[in-house]
Amino acid sequence: MSMDRVAWSSLHTITRAKSGTRPFSKATLKRVLGFARPHRVKLLAFMALSVALAFLAVATPVLAGQVVDAIVARAGADEVVRLAALIAVVAVAEAGLGMVNRWLSSTIGEGVILDLRTRVFDHVQKMPIAFFTRTRTGALVSRLNNDVIGAQSAFAGTLSGVVSNVVALILTLAVMLGTSWQVTVLAMVLLPVFLFPARRIGSRLAGLRREAAEHNAAMATQMTERFSAPGATLVKLFGRPAEESREFAVRAGRVRDIGIRTAMLQFTFVTALTLVSALALALVYGLGGWLAITGQLAAGDVVVLALLLTRLYAPLTALSNARVEIMSALVSFERVFEILDLEPLIRQKPDAVPVPAGPVSVEFDDVRFAYPSADKVSLASLEEVVTLDTRGGEEVLHGISFRVEPGQTVALVGSSGAGKSTIAQLLARLYDVDSGAIRLGGSVPGTGLDLRDATFDSLRDTLGMVTQDGHLFHETIASNLRLAKPDATEEDMWDVIRQARLETMIRSLPDGLDTVVGERGYRLSGGERQRLTIARLLIAHPRVVILDEATAALDSTNEAAVQAALGAALEGRTAVVIAHRLSTIRAADAILVVEEGRIVERGTHSELLAAEGRYAELYRTQFAEASAVAREAVPEP
């Protein structure tokens, strides 16, 4: 290895370590070893090969020195050829073992990435909705990418590097001291001149790279937010494209300036260390040559010392930074473990049972609920705040009790923030109740199956929900439908599409069911997007339907089309409907008026109007607003 390659290798080693490493944690190391256990055979082979490669790396300079001695002593062509052949064999063995070692390194590293990523991904999917409402998506994705890759380096690079460098350093020093202790001591005297600039310039480069990474992250965040359909619309509506461009240009310019400074520091670093290495080689050749001329050292030994010198500085530089690398890797592991240590609030009991077959009733029995506080569902680092919000834990539902018989529709109405959507989320088991119970089935009150005792799979098969935003993935229409029923046939999909009043529109698309709907479904209109979510619900054939203000954001024309689709969705099913427009729930079997987390009225549409209570007040207010809008729409004569 030439000294300029040693310099570049040292530079890479120093600058990739993170600053602000935490103290060594035995608990973290124990968990790390748990991830290493499935790969222990390959790890042992990897370390053994690293040791073998260290021996081979020292063997080549020794053989080269013997070749020089054989030439000087005129030992004969056979001896020179034999030594040359040995050098070739060592080179071939080093290349072959290096390739195997690289394969083992990649296999172990990528295996650890796979284990960590799948473990974190599966764990995050179990987290409650409150976790996702608080967490910044970019911060969470960073844990799955940057920190997992940082943790992988502990296995793929640092571990083998420490083992191989220790062995290489011991062997190199042993051979050099055995060859000439005077030259070895002289070479070691120049070592601080090699290490100190490396640490100083390396730390400056690491700081510049971290600053560049921060600016790149800020640019990525800006692009992610502004290049989405809602973000681009917002920028255009408020007329800020020029200001957005200036802000982006400032960050990009800073990255450019950092790139220039980094390039010059790297060149200065490598040039300085190459100069130091050249001086060290000059001293080796000078002192070694003098010893050889005076008969105190063989000529081949001078060559051995010169070649081993480059193999001495590289492991010393790497080992001087090994602790920083190990601590950095442990920090990455700890950041991943922070996610894994968050306890999911919703768990399936070991003895959970399926929801019984047949028609299903829904019963809320004295349900009380408070949204969890931030410390139970989130991390300050994921929210990118110094401390978590301490608010939360205040009860928002107070003794909610009602029953929906199989095939009936119950509507929930009330002011915004009254608790209607919370009731829907509890029924879908996006949260668990704090006290009381929600039961499915049972012909007599109090005899149904508690949601907390049911299996997750049977709940997903039994319950179907349509929310107000009608979210779709950036995939094809068919993929979005198969989310609810993976084995759905094309005939199944066209059947529910007809029920959702979408057949004409989808058949008119060039790619039909293979049409990509865009991020969040923004390539479709609001009404089309909502009807597609209804089709997705229909294809799952749920026995209980939850509609959370499914038409609140639609105009009258789209609302009529969606209402027609909802008619198919509710037919023969038990339904809990949250309605913003009271005109849409007149035919409900029962209407519950929710205010401040309590049911203050219940009855049919006509009964509640006759009672002249809160429902009548809400209905008259909406009717008066609708009449005023209608009058304004009629032109004056």
Q: How many CB atoms lie within 10 A of CB 504?
A: 9
Backbone dihedral region of 592: left (phi > 0), alpha (psi from -120 to 50 degrees) or beta? beta
What CATH number should be reported for the domain whose range is 362-633? 3.40.50.300
Q: Is the distance from CB of 495 to CB of 522 less than 8 angstroms?
A: no
Q: How confident is the model at residue 265 (pLDDT cuts 50, 70, 90)?
A: confident
Torsion of Cα atoms, 91 then 97 then 99 then 102, to 10°: -130
User: Across all residues in the chain, what is the average pLDDT?
Assistant: 78
Indicate the pairing of strand 395-404 with strand 449-450. Answer: unpaired
| Three-class SS state of 449 | strand
pLDDT at 180 over 70: yes
Listed ranges 172-181, 327-336, 465-474, 487-496; the one with the highest mean pLDDT: 487-496
Could you tell me the sign of the dihedral formed by the alpha carbons of 66, 68, 71, 72, in that order?
A: negative
Q: What is the pLDDT of residues 507-522, one digit of tens each?
A: 998 888 898 887 777 7
The domain limits of the chain are 3-340, 362-633
End-to-end CA distance of the chain: 94
Residue 368 pLDDT: 94
* 551: DSSP letter: T
User: Could you tell me the CA-to-CA distances from 425 to 128, 317, 338, 473, 594 in Å, in that order?
Assistant: 11, 58, 27, 21, 15
DSSP sequence for 199-247: HHHHHHHHHHHHHHHHHHHHHHHHHHHHTSHHHHHHHHHTT-HHHHHHH
Position 320 scores a pLDDT of 63
> How confident is the model over 441-447, as a mean pLDDT?
81
- Cβ count within 10 A of residue 65: 24
The three-point CA angle 555-561-565 to 5° equals 130
Q: What is the mean pLDDT of residues 12-36?
A: 61
How does pLDDT run across 539-568, given as a tens digit for each residue? 888 899 888 876 655 556 666 666 666 776
Helix (H, G, I), strand (E, B) or coil at 285: helix
β-pair type (544-548, 449-450):
unpaired
Q: Compute the distance between CA of residue 151 and CA of residue 335 in angstroms, rounded to an integer.
A: 9
Find the mean pLDDT for residues 60-69. 82
Residue 305 has pLDDT above 70, yes or no: yes
| Radius of gyration, alpha carbons of the chain | 35
The percentage of residues in the chain with a pLDDT greater than 70, rounded to a whole number, is: 76
Please report the DSSP string for 112-128 in residue order: HHHHHHHHHHHHHHTS-
- Cβ–Cβ < 8 Å for 390, 373: yes
Rounded to whole angstroms, the Cα distance separating 336 from 196 reads 33
Give pairs for 98-107: CB < 8 Å, separation 24+.
Answer: 98/53, 100/49, 101/46, 101/49, 101/50, 101/53, 101/160, 104/42, 104/45, 104/46, 104/49, 105/46, 105/156, 105/157, 105/160, 106/156, 107/39, 107/42
Residue 448 has pLDDT above 90, yes or no: no
Query: Which stretch, 257-261, 262-266, 551-555, 600-604, has highest mean pLDDT?
Result: 600-604
The answer to whether the CB of 134 falls within 8 A of the CB of 378 is yes
Please give the structure tokens belonging to residue 506: 């989808």
Segment of 300-309, 359-368, 465-474 carrying the highest mean pLDDT: 359-368
Separation between Cα atoms, residue 343 and residue 130, nearest integer Å? 13
Rounded (10°) angle between helices 181-189 and 191-226 = 40
| pTM score | 0.69
What is the structure's pLDDT at 631? 45
Rounded CA separation 146/153 (Å): 11
393 with 151: CB under 8 angstroms?
Answer: no
Q: Which CATH superfamily is domain 3-340 in?
A: ABC transporter type 1, transmembrane domain (1.20.1560.10)
- Running DSSP on this structure, what letter comes out for residue 453? G
Q: Which position has the higher pLDDT, 597 or 582?
A: 597
d(CA 321, CA 202): 11
